[in-house]
Amino acid sequence: MKVNNVILQFTTKIVFFIIFFFAVHIFFAGHYTPGGGFVGGLVTASAIVLLLVAFDLKTVRSLLPINYIYMVAIGLLIALGTASIAMFVNEPFFTHFFDYFYLPLFGKTSLHTAALFDFGVYLVVVGVTMTIIQTIGEDE
């Protein structure tokens, strides 16, 4: 039985980007305000879950051709790599570095290697959540 859910699908096409950019904002604001990699990853996963609910598993698979298991592995590698940068410059494990840079569009910006570690956490959270939901969703 084909159900005509035009309103849900059109609303999803707009709301998905609002949720995704809110997740990006939460991720980048995590250093000075509440938020960070974990909440940002969960909000991103909820945006993809909204796509899964409004459309079906096959459409979302062709829309976002991501293997979420690899996403978890890449996130863990980024986190481990960020933590082991310090070992190559004779500092203890997990030592972070920061400095101020003058970027062309943003002006004076402080860049911190903790953001890279947070990006690893973000990838792991998105990958694990989507793996759980897709695995439960596709069994009969």
Partner 1 sequence: MIYFIWTAIVIIALSMVALLYRVVKGPTPSDRVIALDSLGITLICLVALFTILVETSFFLEIILLLAILSFIGTIAFSKFIEKGDIITRDDSR
From residue 13 to residue 32, the character string flagging contacts with partner 1 as x (rule: CB under 8 A) and all else as - is --x---x--x---x------
Does position 66 bind partner 1 by CB under 8 A? no
Segment interacting with partner 1 (CB under 8 A) among 47-55, 74-82, 84-92, 97-105: 47-55
Does position 138 bind partner 1 by CB under 8 A? yes
Does position 46 bind partner 1 by CB under 8 A? yes
Match 């459409």 to its residue by tokens: 59
**Cα–chain-centroid distance for residue 40?**
6
Q: What is the CA radius of gyration of the chain?
A: 18
**Cα–chain-centroid distance for residue 123?**
5
Out of 10, 21, 33, 77, the only residue in the binding site for partner 1 (CB under 8 A) is: 33
Does position 92 bind partner 1 by CB under 8 A? no
Residue 107 forms beta bridges with which residues?
Answer: 103
What phi, psi does 95 have (nearest 5°)?
Answer: -75, 130
Contact criterion met (CB below 8 Å) for 58 and 82: no
Segment interacting with partner 1 (CB under 8 A) among 44-52, 80-88, 93-101, 122-130: 44-52
Sign of the alpha-carbon torsion through 32, 34, 40, 43: negative
Does position 73 bind partner 1 by CB under 8 A? no
- Tell me how crowded residue 106 is: count the other CB atoms within 10 A of its CB: 8
Q: Which residues bind partner 1 (CB under 8 A)?
A: 2-3, 8, 15, 19, 22, 26, 33-35, 39, 43, 46, 49-50, 52-59, 133, 137-138
